Amino acid sequence: MKKFTALLLHLAFVAVAVLGLSLMYLNYNYGRGIHLFSDSVYEDSDLFKEQLEKDINRIFDYVNYKDVFETDGQLDYNKKMVGISYTSGIETQTMTYTLDELIRYGKSLGYYLNSDYEVVRTEVEETPHQEDNFVVDWRVYMPSDNYSEPGDAYSTLEGLSLEIMTRLGSYLSTYNNLIAQPSNLIFQVCYNRSESDQSMYTNAPDMTPDAIRNMGRYCYVDGTTLGPDTNISVLPTNISQMAEASNPYDNNSYYVAIGLDTSYPHTDAYSEGRDSFQNMRVMYVGGIFCILSGVLGMALTLYRILAAEKESPLNYYDALSTESSVLLTFLGCLLAVFLSYRVFSKLLHLVVKVDYWNYTDMLVSAVCVYFLLLWEAASLMRRYGAKTLWTNSIFKNAKKFLSLYFSEKRLTLVVAFIYFCFLGVNLLILSGVYLSFYHGQGVLKYIVGILLLVLLTVLDLWGFHYMFHNAWEMDQISEAINNLSGGNTSYQIDTSLFSGKEKELADNLNNISHGMEDVLQEQVKSERLKADLITNVSHDIKTPLTSIINYVDLIKREHIQDPKIQSYLEVLEQKSQRLKNLTEDLVEASKASSGNLKLEISDLNFSELIQQTGGEFEEKLAARRLDLVTRLPDKKLIIEADGRRLWRILENLYNNACKYAMEGSRVYVDLTEEDGMAVFTIKNVSENPLNIDASELTERFVRGDVARTTEGSGLGLSIAQNLTQLQKGTFDIIIDGDLFKVRVAFPVKKPEAIPDSQAPEAGSAE
């Protein structure tokens, strides 16, 4: 139970360690080490830098595409985007496409903008069409003098549609995230052609640049300075370059003002990033704590598990050699890694986000390998506890195996010699085949080569037959030995197909079987005659003994007053009664030892029968001042037994305690349940030294107190043992100095096998 609890705790700590590892590995702080704690606020973190850099790119995309897609401040789908020319026959034709036309053409091909305003394509049934390249005369979003490559002047309608949709996505991303919805990020980008003519791009037209510079975090860039004025520690370095690249005028009269309200009054990417930053720091620290506590708990519980395994019995896996089990575990780890990537991970991919697939793949493999190594470690500890870690190793047995070739000079030497001769002949014939085919001449080389191959085949078939026949002979001998060890003394081996040493060994086994069978038959006959003799003598004694008892009873009824005669009658009555009990015990012992008893098996309440027996012997125990201490379980222990025979077992054991226990001592009676068995124990301190082996006390006519001649026949324990074994129980005697203890155990009937309406009671005592 303690080992099972330790295993559950170990699994729990493994889960805690895996949780901590996941919290750290899947955290954006992973890999930053101690620098995690240097970022005291979100605005100084890499997470903030990534978001700000993304939004600055959006802002300049908006600056570049606002005038392209808008007319009078509104998105204009009828605005012309491109002009093309193509040759039709001998004439050159021109055509323009509006924003709406290009978008609808792209949608007809399956292109659309997803929730992140990125162009993606859905699966549509493609229709065959010919896309011709044509000359692009102009693009409203790319002046012709900005073409960087000759190919920019040529395109297809699909290519132009993709260009427009991509740029429209960039424009809409900025507009919907920073302008249409309230944002904590404020920006103003202003380019001046003159004092009265300026282009303003902003999401806060009512704010001044100075107001923006007074916000919690800000950045200000103008055309007259070399660097930005900012209090943002993680500002992208290319902001000045982007501001200059987006300037539509040939002057330096512009400014870029970006500010962040660090009170975060609006819900946007920055407020969510601030919350995520704080949560991730807590999760990262929590992950460190989980890993430390999980690893510590794993180490402690692993120590308890391995310590418990050291005392555990070996199992079938532990029967393998040490090196074989280690190799098997290594192969199991390789198989586990293969299956985790090919099977288990594929199942997890159904429920795990694609961003975490690599991590879950590694985690599943690591967990599988860990538990296989844990299994192997437990096996090695069991071997260490049983002292088979080295004795059952291949290296240990190699010396013993090789020593056979040097120490044994008989059959093993012959087998080794035959094998090496066989191997030498094979090599010789193979060499002849090689020389014949590659160095022979004419047809003769083929004839000789084929003959040698036939000879080699015959030789190998004979070798196979010899080894197979030898293995078959050993199997027959092994089966015979198993039958003999199992008690089947009549088993005989058919030696007609045997030869050599194996035939000699098989004949010897047959002779042993004959001898054992003869001895067994003689023993059975002797026991039967002994049992018959005891039964017949007991019956012959019983008839005159009954007459003696009856006549003694008749004489007592005459009311004889002579004290001397009364004492004679009392002695005569005691001795005749004892002789009667002895004859009955002899008959019952004979029947019990031979199994010639009819048992009436029923469900019995063992506890109740013990209580009844204690009550029956109360006066007899009190006569010798013996204190009976009985401990019974709170619940019923139901067993299947013959009530009359079970009473006789208990009666004999209680009688034995009354006769031989030290006067004035205690007799302890216990009933417990152990491993599905109802275990009854009775123990007492013997009045006289027990200078005898425990196994001899269950033999007939043997008593622990050899000096006692007035009581006991020496049959009580023998009868109790035989009756217990007949009812599928176990009977054990333990002697420790003067302490005498008897242990009787019967299988407990399972509760589900007992009908609810049945109320089992102990059998009546007879």
Helix (H) or strand (E) holding 281: helix 269-311
Taking the C-alpha atoms of residue 30 and residue 22, their distance in angstroms, rounded to an integer, is: 10
Rg for the chain, CA atoms, rounded:
51
Ranking 36-45, 130-139, 232-241, 377-386 by mean pLDDT, the lowest is 36-45
Is the pLDDT at 462 greater than 70? The verdict is: yes
Nearest to 162 by CA among 113, 216, 223, 232: 113
Taking the C-alpha atoms of residue 715 and residue 407, their distance in angstroms, rounded to an integer, is: 55
The pLDDT of residue 760 is 46
Nearest to 250 by CA among 196, 198, 192: 192
Confidence grade of residue 665 (pLDDT, cut at 50, 70, 90): very high
Q: What 3 state SS string does 439-503 have?
A: HCCCCHHHHHHHHHHHHHHHHHHHHHHHHHHHHHHHHHHHHHHHHHHCCCCCCCCCHHHCCHHHH
- Most confident of the following: 369-373, 528-532, 647-651: 647-651
Selected residue with higher pLDDT from 69 and 581: 69
Selected residue with higher pLDDT from 88 and 708: 88
The pLDDT of residue 184 is 92
Tens-place pLDDT, residues 291-313: 788 788 778 887 777 777 777 78
Contact 236, 221 (CB under 8 A): no
Selected residue with higher pLDDT from 41 and 144: 41
Taking the C-alpha atoms of residue 599 and residue 590, their distance in angstroms, rounded to an integer, is: 15
Tens-place pLDDT, residues 145-193: 555 555 556 778 888 899 899 999 888 988 888 888 899 999 999 999 8
Selected residue with higher pLDDT from 757 and 617: 617
The pLDDT of residue 296 is 84
Ranking 74-78, 180-184, 251-255, 276-280 by mean pLDDT, the lowest is 276-280
- Mean pLDDT score across all residues of the chain: 79
Nearest to 142 by CA among 134, 151, 129, 133: 151
Is the pLDDT at 37 greater than 80? The verdict is: no
Is the pLDDT at 654 greater than 50? The verdict is: yes
Tens-place pLDDT, residues 317-364: 788 888 888 888 888 888 888 887 777 777 777 777 776 677 777 778
Contact 449, 433 (CB under 8 A): yes
Q: Could you tell me the two tokens for 491? A: 């088993």
Q: Distance between the two ends of the chain, CA-based, in angstroms? A: 43
Selected residue with higher pLDDT from 585 and 365: 365
Nearest to 41 by CA among 233, 175, 205, 307: 233
Tens-place pLDDT, residues 208-230: 999 999 999 999 998 888 788 89
Residue 592: C-alpha distances to residues 278, 643, 727 (Å): 83, 15, 11
Query: Which of the following CATH numbers is that of domain 518-596: 1.10.1040.10, 1.10.3720.10, 3.40.50.2300, 1.10.287.130?
Result: 1.10.287.130
Query: Which of the following CATH numbers is that of domain 598-753: 3.40.50.620, 3.30.300.30, 3.30.565.10, 3.90.1150.10?
Result: 3.30.565.10
The pLDDT of residue 605 is 92
Contact 569, 556 (CB under 8 A): yes
Tens-place pLDDT, residues 691-740: 777 666 766 545 445 444 445 556 778 888 888 888 889 999 998 888 99
Tens-place pLDDT, residues 431-456: 777 776 776 665 566 677 777 778 88
Task: Over range 30-46, report the average pLDDT.
Answer: 62
Helix (H) or strand (E) holding 689: none
The pLDDT of residue 762 is 43
Nearest to 25 by CA among 313, 368, 291: 291
The pLDDT of residue 464 is 80
